[in-house]
Amino acid sequence: MTDAPEQRAIDVVRSLAMDAPHAAKSGHQGTAMALAPLAHVLWTRVLSYDAADPAWPDRDRFILSAGHASILLYSMLHLTGHGLTLDDLRDFRQWGSATPGHPEVGHTVGVEVTTGPLGQGIANGVGMAVAERNLRARFGSDVCDHHTFVICGDGDLAEGISHEAASLAGHLGLGRLIVVYDDNHVTIDGPTELALSDDAPARFRAYGWHVVNLGEAADDLDAMEAGLREAMTAADRPSLVVLRSHIGHPSPDADTSAVHGYSLTEEGISETKLRMGLPDEPFHVPDDVLDLYRAAGRRGAKARAEWEQRLATADIDRAAWDAALAGGGVSGWERNLPLWEVGDSVATRKAGNACLQSLLDVVPGLIGGGADLTGNTGTTISGHGVQGPECPEGRQLLFGIREHAMGAICNGLALHGGMLPINGTFLVFSDYMRGAVRLAALSGARNIFVWSHDSVGVGEDGPTHQPVEHAAALRAIPELRVIRPADANETAGAWRTIVNSDGPTALLLTRQDVPVLPGTDDHVAVARGGYILADPEGPPEIVFIGTGSEVSVAMDAAATLTAAGRSVRVVSMPCMEDFAAQDDAYRASVLPVNVPTVSIEAGVTFGWDRWADRCIGIDRFGASAPGKQVMAELGITPEALIAAADDLLST
């Protein structure tokens, strides 16, 4: 049932959903209009939140996976008092506004995750549900006890990532996850039946989900509330609530593909407002409607205050709780990082796992694993349980062969708070994950992407498994830190940087053993992204810059040239992004402007010309052969560096 004040409030939301895109001459009206009643039920009857404290850790999480309907979310955030103003809605999709075309976490208060690329939000929701369950199991329901709600559409379910994420969610039995499927039968090209004939309820039942099929209830507030509350009681399974809606209702363009976008202009908006009995004026929000929603926004204040009291007296490890929420370590955590002796030979993937294991007790948010390559990538978490219904406190996540969802799930873990997620696969398979990686960077999510088998040193598996362009492609993503450590001790330094830094990190690690070099145990130097590893007694004539396993190649070449009377500096550059962030004076002290430089990396040379006069790399695909032979055949050798140095010094 819908009483008159509630219907009036819903119609105001529908009105805003038309007005803001019309003001912008751009946007998506129809989905927001159709789902205004659902949003009303969520924000006034179901969600636990306090608009006065949008970051309250125990709030329910809401994700609009169908991010094109952003005006629906912005309207509710304005009306419930999260800080958005009517002027913000008037500036929808404009430069510098708080209301961009798709929701962006960190940009707009009350937005939990950045959505838009379809399917990502579903996977983010899985991560948030894992985070809630894990924190509840470890610290108790007095401090963590909430639900995760997601709205998705046909496009979300058509994208393959939704299969990966939903399959894992069903396997994990995530009972606090509720996904509402807006089954409106409309896509941009036309009716969904043009390309989609899936039986979504049957599909999700097969995943092990609880399914609530509400049918034609998109305007029935009580039915929607009952369906959501039924889903909330399914403690052992995630729930899909299927809602047959009519896109653009009650406009003249309802149930058309046109209203999926921006089809309602002056005439259509006027007609729709007439049908709803609203004044024909833009951004009309009457006082009684605003009062209704502002009261809803204050509804959770008592629950939040009670939570704060419980937290203050909770019998928990408060230092661990605080460190988890901060995404960092307890005091002195860095002392747990391992140290290797110079001359040891260790694959950096193995060193990475040793670092991970050493930090689990002092960085309490660490959680994660690999995509069926957990041991291979060094993302094994021993002694802390395997996440699942029987071990909700478990910190080892076994993602299965689900790379794309793995990355997006870990974004959800990171953005929930309390978790510092790690996920691993081979570097060549980062291609499968790029959508999630890009959104991690755009979101500032503290997600640790561990990609091992980082070069043609992989060997016999051949070019399908040998990355060459991948490091350069990842470095092209803004706000993504890419670290390729030279050896085991630089790997430990990389972990110090990761835990102390904001945003996502790509950690590229070797399959093969590499020697532990003198000087790489200086974690402060490693954190600067590039530093002098070896220096001659006098001014250098030539500088070799290496990264990853090729730093030892540079050291070997330098030793040969030094014996021949040349003055050679070796610079290790584990992270171009961190080095670029240093001041001009530091960068010039490492790479003097008047000294020729040669870089070496077992990958494409793209991007190295910023730092080097001559670039040695692999601008082709690899080959199937033992790793050392492939490296040698493709010119990743001390001899290649020496030849380049001789050429530069003779000109």
Q: Which residue matches tokens 């002098």?
A: 532
Rounded-to-10 torsion of CA 406, 412, 416, 419? 20
Those residues whose C-beta lies under 8 Å from the C-beta of residue 44, and which sit 6 or more positions away, are 6, 292, 293, 296, 299
- Please name which of 601, 600, 584, 581 lies closest in space to residue 592, comparing C-alpha atoms: 584
- Helix/strand number for the chain, H first, E second: 26, 19
| Distance set, CA 304 to CA 146, 308, 327 (Å) | 12, 6, 22
* CB 348 within 8 Å of CB 337: no
Q: How far apart (Å, rounded) are the C-alpha atoms in residues 85 and 98? A: 9
Query: Residues 57, 321: contact at Cβ < 8 Å?
Result: no
Rounded CA separation 437/414 (Å): 13
- In angstroms, the CA 130 to CA 437 distance is 19
Do residues 57 and 237 lie in contact, with contact meaning Cβ atoms separated by under 8 Å?
no
Two tokens, residue 421:
């997620």
Q: Left (φ > 0), alpha (ψ -120 to 50) or beta: where does 240 sit? A: beta
The residue count for the chain: 651
Please report which residue ranges of 96-199 form alpha helices under DSSP H.
120-139, 154-158, 160-172
Quickly list DSSP for 4-63. HHHHHHHHHHHHHHHHHHHHHT-S--HHHHHTHHHHHHIIIII----TT-TT-TTSPEEE
Specify whether the CB–CB gap between 393 and 433 falls below 8 A.
Answer: no
3-state secondary structure of 315: coil
Q: Whole-angstrom Cα distance, residue 457 to residue 626?
A: 8
Q: Which long-range contacts (CB under 8 A, 24 or more apart) does 385-388 make?
A: 387/130, 387/134, 387/172, 388/171, 388/172, 388/173
From 6, 112, 403, 601, the catalytic residue = 403
Per DSSP, the three-state class of 508 is: strand
Return the DSSP state at 428.
G
Residue 182 tokens read as: 């807006």
Contact 607, 472 (CB under 8 A): yes
Pair 152, 65: CB distance under 8 Å:
yes
Q: Tokens 């991690």 map to which residue?
A: 440
- Is 308 one of the catalytic residues? no
Q: Is 357 helix (H, G, I), strand (E, B) or coil?
A: helix
Sign (positive or negative) of CA dihedral 512, 518, 520, 523: positive
What residues are annotated to the active site?
403
